[in-house]
Chains A and B, each alone.
Chain A
């Protein structure tokens, strides 16, 4: 791919026995020192792609280059990568110290140098004083730290992380996310992080690749993925969203006119179009609106926002925000709306069947190609 990519994945396809394509023509360039995430639902091929970088699986087609070196046919033990496994894979017959030192034994370091490196690694993951513990005496979070220290002590060019936080409870997971990000910034090693948790991917990563049934759909930063997804699948996978199928009516100046199901005629800036949606009059288009971009009011809102009349079907109070389902004429599925504290001051919203105005500004609309 690009000249300065540190890990280059070029046309990589992985076929398993039975012809199933786990990874389908993946192209990706990961930059040096980047925190890069592979995000997708389970079975989308993200772990297979990671395992191909690690050297546990080999591509059926295409090639992988790490720091300019083609790693085709290079076994895992000769690659400049180290991995944190989903199960952590802590060696049960070794204590914490021996686990962390495992990868250095072969290097025939002097005893003092070895001890120094192990202590450094243990400090890095805040496990000083835990060296003599047996792995059976460790909590989930501690096991994860041991796995991190064990991989980082090898000073790899790339650290691969396979859903390392999925086994931890919510509170610990948030703590570890923060620490992981800090650690990555301190050591400056390129991290490739696999997760199915979109919040985790968005909050940790410099860039995220969204994968779906073996294909990489979009590679972008968190904001871009959320605000301008390139396809229906990405928009649907990242956060929640309402889709309104529509037809392009024409372009007027910097605005595009669309007639959408339930919304009627609406105008949105041309910049709202992503993923190469066609603006030719008469072509089908998908209008997508995030629930929190919609606002509810009893009186019609002033200004030229896109406004439709509807009725509240259900409302759910979630603390920092509330969720509503609003029925609008001309559309079967109710529209999902997420309101923050200020919008909720209208007590009337909590009564079901209330007539309400639903509005959204044209610039908050996303225009996608239909499927």
Chain B
């Protein structure tokens, strides 16, 4: 550090001089630089396979080889064949049921923590994540034990003498799938609803009381509408992953509880018709995308009115 002139200070001497100058000057460049690690992963493991999937969905399986002429026949199959249509509808039905059940279970819990827990709210929130402390698979097996033919529920009910034979509607059907998924996603639903309830200004509820509303009317006219953003966010968070869930229906659903994801897996596996599997996967993505757009629009609408 002997002769530091002004020109020395200004001109960067390290190799990335030009790049760092660019980054300093442009906020957009900085943003892309920060995004790049994620972007690289997204392209490598998401966009590229997706392109491949899209290509496959336009091809045809002939015996053990694939005919690469473009055709929309697979999509026609996906939408017209009864098996697939039934699976799509069942997936929508089960996912909606899971979403509704979960929100209905989660709302009172979030409401209780927000309005009735006075101290240590944070402890409550941490306790609500306990189901996540064990793996997803273990939880599914746990439900199997609870709902099974000789499981906890059936055995206790029989011991007490309320039923003579095990209840069969508990396991290996859509009910089991709904129960298990609702439990798995409950925490995801509680948190956004909690946040939107917590944000409600208490003086609004007092104002409603002051203007003559009892507790029920206050809930319908103030609390529920103002917590709708949380409810819709919860619905998206539950609905989207549920449509693609394949482990739970495979293990607990039985023949009547199979969903579209199980069929896609079959196409890529035993049936060995990759183009058909790809077409089903693409259709499933499109279905979820359309419904999500609707949810996002609803969320915008709900939050736009609350500010």
A residues near B (Cβ < 8 Å) are: 54-56, 75-77, 81-83, 85-87, 89, 91-93, 102-103, 106, 134, 136, 150-151, 154
Partner of A76, one of B210, B221, B226: B210
Residues of the B chain whose Cβ atoms lie less than 8 Å from the Cβ of A81: 210
Q: Is the CB of B212 within 8 A of A106?
A: yes
Query: Does A77 lie within 8 Å of B305, measured CB to CB?
Result: no
Q: How far is the CA of A150 from the CA of B225 in the complex (A)?
A: 20
Contact between chains at B212 and A87 (CB < 8 Å): no
- Flag if B208 contacts A102 (CB, 8 Å): yes
Task: Name A's interface SS.
Answer: mixed
**Residue among B207, B214, B217, B226 making CB contact with A93, cutoff 8 Å:** B226
Identify which of B203, B204, B210, B225 contacts A77 (C-beta below 8 A): B210
Top 7 nearest A-B pairs (CB, nearest first) are A103-B211, A89-B207, A89-B203, A136-B307, A76-B209, A83-B210, A93-B225
- The verdict on B213 contacting chain A, using a C-beta distance below 8 Å, is yes
B222 close to A (CB within 8 Å): yes
> CB distance A82 to B305 under 8 Å?
no
B-side residues, CB < 8 A to A, are 201, 203-204, 206-214, 217, 221-222, 225-226, 305-307
Question: Which chain B positions have C-beta within 8 A of A102?
Answer: 208, 211, 221
Closest to B222 in A: A91
> What's the nearest-Cβ distance from chain A to residue B203, in Å?
4
| Cβ-defined contact, A76 with B217, below 8 A | no
Q: How far is the CA of A51 from the CA of B294 in the complex (A)?
A: 44
**Interface residues of B, dominant DSSP:** helix
- Residues of B near A76 (CB, < 8 A) are 206, 209-210
The complex places the Cα of A196 from the Cα of B27 at a distance, in Å, of: 48
Q: Which residues of A contact B204 (CB under 8 A)?
A: 89, 91-92
Given A56-B206, A89-B207, A154 and B212 contact (CB-CB distance below 8 Å): yes
Complex interface: chain A residues within 8 A of B307 (CB): 92, 136
CA distance A54 to B212 in the complex (A): 12
- Whether the Cβ atoms of B207 and A85 lie closer than 8 Å is yes
Inter-chain contact A92/B305, CB cutoff 8 Å: yes
Which residues of chain B have C-beta atoms less than 8 A from A77's C-beta? 209-214
* CB pair A83 B207 closer than 8 Å: yes
Contact at A154–B211, with CB atoms within 8 Å?
Answer: yes
Assess the B212–A92 pair: CB atoms within 8 A: no
Q: How far is the CA of A81 from the CA of B210 in the complex (A)?
A: 8
CB neighbours of A54 from chain B (8 A): 210
For the complex, what is the distance from the CA of A92 to the CA of B229, rounded to whole Å? 13
Shortest CB distance B71–A (Å): 51
> B305 and A150: CB pair below 8 A?
no
**Chain B residues whose CB sits within 8 angstroms of the CB of A150 once the complex forms:** 207, 211
What is the CA–CA distance of A274 and B19 in the complex, to the nearest angstrom? 81
